[in-house]
Amino acid sequence: MRNSAAVASTTILWAIAAVLVGQSLGPQTPQPIHWDFEVSADPLPVAAVEDTFSKLDYDVSHVRRGQAVPRILVRTIPDDLGQVPEVDRRKDLFLAAVLPLALAVNEQISAERVEVKAMAEKIALGRDLTFLEQQELNRLARVYRVIDDTDDADADKTPPDLSANDLIDELMLRAAPLPVSLVLAQAAEESAWGLSRFASEGNALYGQWVWNDGLGIIPKSRADGQTHSVRAFRDIHESTLSYAHNLNTHRAYSAFRNVRANMLNTTGRLDGFALAGTLTRYSGRGQAYVSSLRTIIRSNDLSALDRAQLGKPGSTSATAT
């Protein structure tokens, strides 16, 4: 059984009409994510997920050739994934489940980035932000931890030492999408391609640590006196949102954000293989961890998935019923 942080659904849910699932990148949720299909069950069998993918003609090999990714939300990694004997089949199923999540998270971040860009353009034209625009800027600054979100009484105020331009400059570093190849590689590495205890018990795909958290999953190798655990989530979508927020806000990943900004400014594209080199602090393994990520990206042709795009809401064929 999955723990209380996971979704405990007993049916496989099909939603041919639009499904709106709002999940938070941080303290608040400005934009809901639109899903056309949802698969959730406890336990969730491989057969159910593969049947859904088949009905949608969804396969990562098709995506590499330019097919749009259906807006399908798979809530958890199939419980019997480890019983699939073919390694390539297991990997493809894992990638197909996580890929829409990565794209949906990027879609949400990109919507917030558009807001910030619009404010920057308005200021560049010499126009002042409206009161509501300043409130929204402050909210995003707190979501992305540019402003410390500790004093609710000052939630609508900008610290006196920070101008609107200061907030916008830092938000342009933080409110930016992630390279899909890197998201998939880290999910595979941190969860052993979905087979880890943390993935099965707590939908934890990215190995995020927490301290003194009663809901966290205690590593079996944790030494006496240590208090860290692996954070558990309701589903793997929430896990992906939290991971993205971590990369976009934690001070340990400032190099990642700076290199990403340079890529976006010079080429307009993200290179997950190159950006993996900035994540030596994500794991105690340091450079060996980077090498593992790059091996996963290269050997599984994940860079081709950096070009993947979600289909428009409602665009997936209804023959999947």
Per residue in 26-72, pLDDT (tens digit) is 334 445 789 999 998 889 999 999 999 999 999 999 999 999 999 99
Q: What is the mean pLDDT of residues 179-204?
A: 97
pLDDT band at 130 (very low <50, low <70, confident <90, very high): very high
The domain ranges of the chain are 19-99+179-200+235-320, 110-174
Is residue 317 scored above 80 in pLDDT? no
pLDDT band at 104 (very low <50, low <70, confident <90, very high): very high
How far is Cα of residue 52 from the mean position of the Cα atoms in its chain?
Answer: 22
C-alpha radius of gyration, the chain, whole number: 20
3-state secondary structure the chain: CCCCCCCCCCCCCCCCCCEEECCCCCCCCCCCEEECEEECCCCCCHHHHHHHHHHCCCCHHHHHCCCCECCEEECCCCCCHHHCCCHHHHHHHHHHHHHHHHHHHHHHHHHHHHHHHHHHHHHHCCCCCCHHHHHHHHHHHHHCCCCCCCCHHHCCCCCCCCCHHHHHHHHHHHCCCCCHHHHHHHHHHHHCCCCCHHHHHHCCCCCCEEECCCCCECCCCCCCCCCEEECCCCCHHHHHHHHHHHHHHCHHHHHHHHHHHHHHHHCCCCCHHHHHHHCCCCCCCCHHHHHHHHHHHHHCCHHHHHHCCECCCCCCCHHHC
Is residue 136 scored above 80 in pLDDT? yes
Name residue, tokens 């010499």: 126
What does the longest C-alpha to C-alpha distance in the chain come to?
63
**What pTM did the predictor assign?**
0.87
Q: What is the mean pLDDT of residues 203-211?
A: 91
pLDDT of residue 15: 36
Q: What is the mean pLDDT of residues 135-155?
A: 81
pLDDT of residue 223: 77
Q: pLDDT, tens digit, for every residue of 227-255?
A: 788 899 999 999 999 999 999 999 999 99
Cβ atoms within 10 Å, residue 54: 11
> What whole-number distance in Å separates Cα of residue 303 and Cα of residue 274?
11
